[in-house]
């Protein structure tokens, strides 16, 4: 039985954000598991990764080295076909999925991050455009082979305008710890924070591969919002018609809330500005807020929030306390 920490480590693998120490820990875990349990882990890893690339023959040397089957210690194993199947598969999956172990000519990866209260516009190698919200990061290879899918990894929030590739049929994949968004060319917003990921589709069509034991993809239509938590293994929201500005206006410098619970408003502001709120009465969290808040500076947000709430907001001991 895997411990909670081991399960979280395996879920982190497809994000490409594992450290070298974490990658080694995952590999050792797979090597030491009983074969039956190792096979189940491999099924999970493959489902998370959803890779479709083939393995170059030259990569087998690296696989053999990785699994300790070198000429010195392969203990009579003379052929790659005699390697333990599940252990060989573990190596293949780890080498394919792990962000730091790549042998498809894409050793160079760019990671763009934003500080609190900062936004960036990124042009990807294929010409797609990404608006990266505050307190977020986006990782992607510097060069994309036109024969392979385009893959980026997101932590935080981003708005995507994907350039279609009708000639090659390349998919565009956005990976988060909770799910993978698969598109051909479309416009959508992804917010991955607080152990859940929300996807809002503005134009086109996307397929969501939720990190569950089911391999079935969920298709989305324009105007739909889906929120899923892999940690809770739960679909938290599936709303068909949502006002686009509520989920995309941030890239234009405004946070728009429409009958939104105060707890969600405060969480959004906390994530963007790196601050924390406290309320005098927990019942305040259920209050519904309809307002537009400028994103330039927190000094502009707080007075407007006070006006909307009809409450006072004061800084106390490093947090902002809201009182009636």
- What confidence category does residue 170 fall into, taking pLDDT thresholds of 50, 70 and 90? confident
Report, as an integer, the average pLDDT of 205-211. 90
- Position 4 scores a pLDDT of 78
Report, as an integer, the average pLDDT of 29-41. 68
Instruction: Say yes or no: 92 and 185 in one domain.
Output: no
Helix axes of 298-309 and 262-273: crossing angle, nearest 10 degrees: 170
Report which DSSP code applies to 142: S
**Sequence-distant (≥ 6) Cβ neighbours of residue 134 within 8 angstroms:** 114, 115, 116, 117, 118, 119, 156, 271, 272, 273, 295
- Assess whether pLDDT exceeds 80 at residue 271: yes
Q: What CATH number corresponds to the domain at position 136? A: 2.60.120.1440
- Show which of 185, 214, 244 is a domain's final residue: 244
- What confidence category does residue 13 fall into, taking pLDDT thresholds of 50, 70 and 90? low
User: If residue 269 lies in a helix (H) or strand (E), which one and from where to where?
Assistant: helix 262-273
Instruction: Say yes or no: 162 and 216 in one domain.
Output: yes
- Assess whether pLDDT exceeds 60 at residue 34: yes
Instruction: Say yes or no: 211 and 264 in one domain.
Output: no
Residue 23, domain extent: 4-97
117: phi > 0 → left, psi -120 to 50 → alpha, else beta; which? left
- What confidence category does residue 58 fall into, taking pLDDT thresholds of 50, 70 and 90? very low
Instruction: Say yes or no: 239 and 264 in one domain.
Output: no
**Sequence-distant (≥ 6) Cβ neighbours of residue 290 within 8 angstroms:** 257, 258, 259, 260
Instruction: Say yes or no: 205 and 276 in one domain.
Output: no
- What confidence category does residue 26 fall into, taking pLDDT thresholds of 50, 70 and 90? confident
- Assess whether pLDDT exceeds 50 at residue 114: yes
Q: Is 103 part of any domain?
A: no
- Specify the higher pLDDT residue, 227 or 16: 227
Mean pLDDT lowest among 11-25, 86-100, 278-292? 86-100
E strands, 65-217, in order: 109-113, 120-123, 129-132, 137-141, 150-161, 172-175, 179-183, 187-193, 196-203, 206-210
- Position 18 scores a pLDDT of 63
Q: What are phi and psi of 68, to 5 degrees?
A: 75, 25
- Show which of 244, 262, 293 is a domain's final residue: 244
User: If residue 226 lies in a helix (H) or strand (E), which one and from where to where?
Assistant: strand 225-229
- Assess whether pLDDT exceeds 90 at residue 129: yes
- Show which of 226, 244, 262 is a domain's final residue: 244
Q: Is 151 part of any domain?
A: yes
Report, as an integer, the average pLDDT of 148-162. 94
Rounded to two decimals, what is the model's pTM? 0.68
Instruction: Say yes or no: 151 and 56 in one domain.
Output: no
Instruction: Say yes or no: 116 and 234 in one domain.
Output: yes
Mean pLDDT lowest among 18-32, 103-117, 234-248? 18-32
- Position 103 scores a pLDDT of 39
Instruction: Say yes or no: 114 and 240 in one domain.
Output: yes
Report, as an integer, the average pLDDT of 237-253. 91
Tally of structural domains, the chain: 3
Q: What CATH number corresponds to the domain at position 273? A: 3.55.50.30
Report, as an integer, the average pLDDT of 225-239. 92
The SS3 of residue 22 is: helix
Q: Is 67 part of any domain?
A: yes
Instruction: Say yes or no: 76 and 188 in one domain.
Output: no
Q: Is 102 part of any domain?
A: no
| 3-state class percentages of the chain: helix first, strand second, coil last, to nearest 5 | 30, 30, 35
- Assess whether pLDDT exceeds 90 at residue 57: no
Instruction: Say yes or no: 166 and 293 in one domain.
Output: no
Average pLDDT of the chain, as a whole number: 80
Instruction: Say yes or no: 91 and 142 in one domain.
Output: no
Render 82-103 in DSSP notation, one character per residue. GS-HHHHHHHHHHHHH-TT---
- Assess whether pLDDT exceeds 60 at residue 238: yes
Instruction: Say yes or no: 240 and 275 in one domain.
Output: no
């Amino acid at each position: 039985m895997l411990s909670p920490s081991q399960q979280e480590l395996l879920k982190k693998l497809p994000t490409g954000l594992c450290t070298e120490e974490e990658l080694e820990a995952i590999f050792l875990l797979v090597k030491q598991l009983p074969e039956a349990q190792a096979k189940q882990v491999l099924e999970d890893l493959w489902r998370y990764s959803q890779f479709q690339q083939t393995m170059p023959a030259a990569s087998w040397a690296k696989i053999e080295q990785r699994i300790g089957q070198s000429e010195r210690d392969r203990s009579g194993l003379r052929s790659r076909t005699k390697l333990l199947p599940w252990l060989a598969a573990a190596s293949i999956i780890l080498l394919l999925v792990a962000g730091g172990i790549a042998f498809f000519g894409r050793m160079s990866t760019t990671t763009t991050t934003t500080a609190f209260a900062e936004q960036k516009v990124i042009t990807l190698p294929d010409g797609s455009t990404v608006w990266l919200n505050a307190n977020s990061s986006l990782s992607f290879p510097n060069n994309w082979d036109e024969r392979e899918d385009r893959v980026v990894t997101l932590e935080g929030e981003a708005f995507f305008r994907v350039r279609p590739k009708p000639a090659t049929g390349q998919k565009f994949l956005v990976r988060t710890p909770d799910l993978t968004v698969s598109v051909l060319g479309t416009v959508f917003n992804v917010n991955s924070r607080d152990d859940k990921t929300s996807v809002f589709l503005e134009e086109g069509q996307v397929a969501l591969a939720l990190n569950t034991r089911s391999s079935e993809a969920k298709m989305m239509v324009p105007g739909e919002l889906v929120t899923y938590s892999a940690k809770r293994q739960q679909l938290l929201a599936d709303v068909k018609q949502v006002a686009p500005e509520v989920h995309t206006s941030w890239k234009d410098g405004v946070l728009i809330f429409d009958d939104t619970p105060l707890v969600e408003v405060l969480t959004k502001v906390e994530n963007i500005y790196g601050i924390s709120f406290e309320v005098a009465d927990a019942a305040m969290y259920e209050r519904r807020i309809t307002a537009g808040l400028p994103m330039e500076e927190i000094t502009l947000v707080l007075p407007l929030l006070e006006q909307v709430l009809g409450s006072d907001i004061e800084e106390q001991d490093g947090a902002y306390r809201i009182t009636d």
